[in-house]
């Protein structure tokens, strides 16, 4: 259950990553947590774990979106 506590702590953390390296590290941490929770979910089939994974996925997607930046528009 240590992983669940880490995931909840990551979720509550303020997500104001100032530079690119912090965003990259946060994205990697989110991915690791999601994969670890997925292994637990496969065994227990607990809906609460699935909800945590969904919330972490949304956070991870926001981080990745911020990393990629805006697409260049061509005229």
CA-based end-to-end distance of the chain: 53
41 C-beta neighbours (distance < 10 Å), count: 17
6 or 67, which is more confident:
6
* Domain assignment present for 16: yes
Query: Looking at residue 17, what is its pLDDT?
Result: 67
**Tokens encoding 3:** 């992983």
Question: Tens digits of per-residue pLDDT, 16-68?
Answer: 767 888 888 888 999 999 999 999 999 999 899 999 999 999 989 988 888 88
CA distance 26 to 59: 10
For the chain, the domain total comes to 1
* Domain assignment present for 12: yes
Residues 6+ apart with CB under 8 A from 52: 4, 7, 8, 11, 37
- Reported pTM: 0.78
Query: Looking at residue 43, what is its pLDDT?
Result: 93
Query: Looking at residue 74, what is its pLDDT?
Result: 65
Boundaries of domain holding 62: 2-68
């Amino acid at each position: 259950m240590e992983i669940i506590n880490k995931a909840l702590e990551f979720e509550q953390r303020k997500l104001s990553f100032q530079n690119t390296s912090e965003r990259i590290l946060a994205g990697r941490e989110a991915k690791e947590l999601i994969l670890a929770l997925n292994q637990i979910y496969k065994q227990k089939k607990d809906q609460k774990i699935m909800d945590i994974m969904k919330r972490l996925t949304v956070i991870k997607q926001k981080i990745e979106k911020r990393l990629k930046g805006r697409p260049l528009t061509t005229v």
